[in-house]
Chains A and B, each alone.
Chain A
Amino acid sequence: MDNLASIRDAFGRALVKLGEKNEKVVVLDADVSTSTRTAFFHEKFPDRFFNFGVAEGNMMDAAAGLALVGKIPFVSTFSSLASLRALEQIRTSIAYPKLNVKIVGGYGGLSDFKDGPTHHSICDLAIIRSIPNMTLIVPADAIETEKAIYMVAQYEGPVYLRLSRAEVPMLFDKNYKMEIGKGNLLKEGKDITLIATGIMVARVLEAAKLLENKEKIDARVIEIHTLKPIDVDIIIRAADDTGAIVTAEEHSIIGGLAGAVAEVIVENNPVPMERVGIKDTFAESGEYNDLLEKYGMGIEHIIVTAKKVMKRKR
């Protein structure tokens, strides 16, 4: 895959641009700003950047306080810490009172690959998705990350943005229009639908090409960037039109995209569905691509899973 761009760099640059346009924007980080790239904002706007040290809980509540006095806080740390250590703050002080806080969980999935399972974030989507009032967004490339930052700044209410540390293929161009809660139909197809989020979108597009060329399977491809509120219509249409679904995410197969899609189809049109993702296990340290292959998120896994679900089609 070529034409790679860094999601975290795109995030860091977009925050600076947003900060130039909107004085209400403030940024908080918990001693990982050079990693998450909020350091760019710090450099440009030192008065509007607050480093809370290794104290994610306090930082999250302080963000709530800043929102209460009219600021638009972007709170940044690793997704494993935001969604776990600061979870109670997110639920009680941000989601329940519906405060206008933008939580940015960086280093999602296995993208902090060599640091190992303590730093991997494979439960965050399931956790955050279950909290009322939350909007949950996972961009798939650098452009979408930039668009997402501007988009959530315009939205009034709590948002959790889950980003990757990785460099990923460019999928979208500058004219791309992003809308909260709207899935993207990236490729038409009639035999099966592949639904992906985050870095798995590029992989699913690759898999769809191979399925067409080698297996004569015409796969539809849908990107779901907003896991909550999810685009119910696009999923029901996929179930109705293609009769089989594969989900793909860099996350546990429990409770994330797979859970969200399954919830929609069981209540509307329960077609056969299979899940590509981490199979309810902790991973390990290693090279990123090696980990994605070993833990079930390689392109070949998508192809095998697609063929499996095709056999279950009625």
Chain B
Amino acid sequence: MSFHSEKLIAELTEMARNLRIQVVKMIYKAESGHPGGSLSAADIVTALYFHHLNIDPAQPHWPERDRFILSKGHAAPLLYAALAERGYFPKEELGTLRSIGSILQGHPDILKTPGVEMTTGILGHGLSVGVGMAIGAKLDHKNYRIYVLLGDGELDTGFNWEAALSAHKYHLDNLTAIVDLNGVQLDGPTNEIMPLEPVVDKWRSFNWHTIEIDGHNIKQILDTLDETKHLHGKPSIIIAHTIKGKGVSFMENKSIWHGRVPNKEEFEIALKELQKENDNG
């Protein structure tokens, strides 16, 4: 098992908080966007972009880089904040989210935004695209890895299960999927809209290495990502239990905050809470 220092965990925790603040600011300014699923995935995306992924922002097309696909494309503000922090484009661009002429579309666009690895937004594509990339990497005997972040509501669509079959067939141990299992989708709780449980058993029965973690525990996220690098013969999936709207009390676990924009008062409370979280350490 790999060792991750307290210092690293503290730095990443601080970065995740920073990304959450930027997400709320971007959505408030754009008057449009999806806060709930961006906030729930912030710790996962932070662990990937600020420690785990083998990437070089100075060379966004470096052939040996790891690839990350945000299949739950509505969490675009989170991805954009991470890419800007990593230096793929100037942070000032974040204020242009969803406005005409912006490089930051409502959902990720590979042709417009440096660092975006694949256009997504309509749910149910990312895992299949990741399967294709992972097959290609194996054909070329390359060591780079493919990471795909899925939503739990997204698992309603059968395309993910088609992808699951094919990833097993082709022994794609260079593919790691992560489910941001926040338990809430647009219309309500996932266990009401379309029950998914037992989700871990489902993936195991599809012959994937399936690991369950707390998706807000950065040390666990890092350890598990490292673990999946060393599992052979099968694709891996990390079922990350998260809280939709994490970090903003009135957004937490509320489906209404899947795609709602805070008003001025709510915006100020949200910022205060996210900043206070830091003060409490």
Q: Which residues of A contact B (CB under 8 A)?
A: 26, 47-48, 50, 52-53, 55, 57-58, 60-71, 73, 88-89, 92-93, 96-98
Contacts and interface: CB of A to CB of B under 8 A. Distances in A.
Interface range for B: 20 to 34
Interface string B88-130: 0000000000000000000001110000011101101100111
> Closest 10 CB pairs between A and B?
A65-B132, A61-B128, A62-B132, A58-B162, A69-B136, A55-B162, A65-B133, A65-B129, A97-B119, A66-B132
B228 to A, nearest CB: 19
Interface stretch (B21-29, B77-85, B163-171, B198-206): B163-171
Given A53-B165, A55-B165, A57-B162, A68 B122 contact: no
Given A71-B136, A97-B119, A65 B166 contact: no
18 contacts: A26-B136, A55-B165, A55-B166, A57-B124, A58-B163, A60-B128, A62-B128, A64-B128, A66-B135, A68-B133, A70-B136, A70-B140, A89-B128, A93-B119, A93-B125, A93-B128, A97-B109, A98-B111
A98 B122 CA distance: 17
Nearest to A73: B132
A93 B130 CA distance: 12
Contacts of B135: 50, 62, 65-66
Given A65-B134, A97-B119, 14 more contacts: A55-B162, A62-B128, A62-B129, A64-B118, A65-B129, A65-B135, A68-B118, A68-B132, A69-B67, A69-B133, A69-B136, A97-B109, A97-B110, A97-B118
Interface string B129-154: 11111111101100000000000000
Contacts of B63: 70
B49 interface: no
Contact of B159 (A58, A71, A96): A58
Contacts of B133: 65-66, 68-69
A205 B139 CA distance: 46
Contact of A65 (B109, B111, B131, B159): B131
A92 B165 contact: no
A61 B119 contact: no
Nearest to A61: B128
A73 B136 CA distance: 10
A57 B128 contact: yes
A304 B118 CA distance: 51
B110 to A, nearest CB: 5
A96 B131 contact: no
A69 B118 contact: no
Interface in B140-194: 140, 159, 162-163, 165-166, 170
Contacts of B131: 58, 61-62, 65
Given A64-B132, A65-B133, A96 B165 contact: no
Interface in B228-267: none
B136 A61 contact: no
A140 to B, nearest CB: 32
Nearest to A69: B136
Nearest to B163: A58
Contacts of B110: 97
B139 A71 contact: yes
Contacts of B163: 58, 61-62
B117 A68 contact: yes
A25 to B, nearest CB: 11
Q: Give the most central of B67, B109, B121, B159: most A CB within 10 Å.
A: B159
B161 to A, nearest CB: 9
A55 B167 CA distance: 13
A88 B132 CA distance: 17
Q: Give the most central of A57, A67, A68: most B CB within 10 Å.
A: A68
